[in-house]
Amino acid sequence: MGAETVRRWFLPTLLALSSLGLDSISLQAQEPRPRTQIVEDLYDAQLLDANEGWAVGAFGSVYHTIDGGKHWLGQGTPTTQHLYGVSFANVENGWVVGRSGTILHTADGGAHWVAQQSNTSKHLFNVRFLDSQEGWAVGDWSVVLHTTNGGVTWRDRSLGEDRILYAVDFVDRDTGWMVGELGSIRRTIDGGRTWARQQVGMQKTLFGLAAVSKDKAWAVGIDGLVVRTVDGGVTWQVQRGEGEVESLERVGSPESLENAGLYDIEIRGGKGYAVGDVGNLLVSEDAGESWTRVLLPAEWRLSWIRGLSVLPSGRGIVVGASGLTFAVDGRDMHFSQNTAAAAIGGQID
């Protein structure tokens, strides 16, 4: 087994234990649970505005906030499968995806969640809806699913390769990217009818993706990699991290901590954020042109961070291990899991 094959299993979403799925039923939301009581690992989040947002994670957990993340309401779901991705088209319609082909949909703002038929048992790691009807989901074994009717039916558009796809993002109905294992990058300019392979110049796995315009996109991955294109993917530039395969062997070295794996990235409102292992939080205040590492408070510094969501203003929310959630606004971080850590400005190294 090669170093890259071994290394991909360090992704937190793949370390979690499998759990049994439940029958497709609709459950009422649970009682409100403040952030200090969230113990599940969280894998993805989405903010709809400054107050309302969602987070999803282990054992079918879905959380909803209406006060900017100060408090979270646990939502009842018909599954105990780990949920890895969330996408809301509007305040009413949202989808989450996860292990063993799990897809859940709400049409009433999370009051009820109903399973949709994905017709696959492969793990789904990311989902993006362009509106209330059209959406995409990607996952293990290059599975690609597409719906044009809100998930009533999902069409299999898989690539037929032995590679994991971890993220998909669109800038408009025609233009989008997918990224994944072994430096896999594909782009569509025809609404997903075809996906052209692009060359990033290395074979390291990419976990996160931010499609900013038809010309500009960023991706992040193993060994602190931040890569970008400014020409629609004709060329990709390594902005940060280790691009050489040999660096995979340096696990445990100081470089592996400085260049810890990155799992998600977003750039909006002139600000950018990338998150990953050992409390790795990178911040850009020039729309992704440069990146600075911000240190979390000591109690969270070794925790992995898996997902984030950013508003057009540049403010965002971040989620990760053991219920870790906090708000970001540039270099400022605002924690409410611990009152002593609330409203702490990040340290810069």
Q: What is the pLDDT of residues 17-57, one digit of tens each?
A: 233 232 332 333 344 455 447 889 999 999 999 999 999 99
Name which of 208, 169, 159, 200 is nearest 182 in CA terms: 200
Q: What would the mean pLDDT of 61-85 be, rounded to a whole number? A: 94
DSSP code at position 124: E
Strand partners, 229: 217
On the 0-12 / 13-18 / 19+ scale of CB atoms within 10 A, 71 is: middle
Where does the pLDDT of residue 238 fall: very low under 50, low under 70, confident under 90, or very high at 90 and above?
very high
Q: What is the pLDDT of residues 190-210, one digit of tens each?
A: 999 999 999 999 999 999 999
Distance between CA atoms of 106 and 319, rounded to whole angstroms? 21
Segment among 134-143, 288-297, 337-346 with least mean pLDDT:
337-346
Q: Indicate if the pLDDT at residue 61 is higher than 60.
A: yes
Instruction: Give 285 or 259, the one with higher predicted confidence.
Output: 285
- Asked whether the beta carbons of 163 and 143 are under 8 A apart, the reply is no
Q: What would the mean pLDDT of 276-284 be, rounded to a whole number? A: 96
What is the average pLDDT value for the chain, to the nearest integer? Answer: 86
Neighbours of 122 (CB within 10 A): 18
Q: Indicate if the pLDDT at residue 65 is higher than 60.
A: yes
Report CA torsion sign: 76, 77, 79, 80.
negative
Q: Indicate if the pLDDT at residue 135 is higher than 70.
A: yes
Q: For residue 24, what pLDDT is reported?
A: 30
Distance between CA atoms of 38 and 61, rounded to whole angstroms? 10
Report CA torsion sign: 65, 71, 76, 80.
positive
Report CA torsion sign: 227, 230, 236, 239.
negative
Q: Indicate if the pLDDT at residue 290 is higher than 60.
A: yes
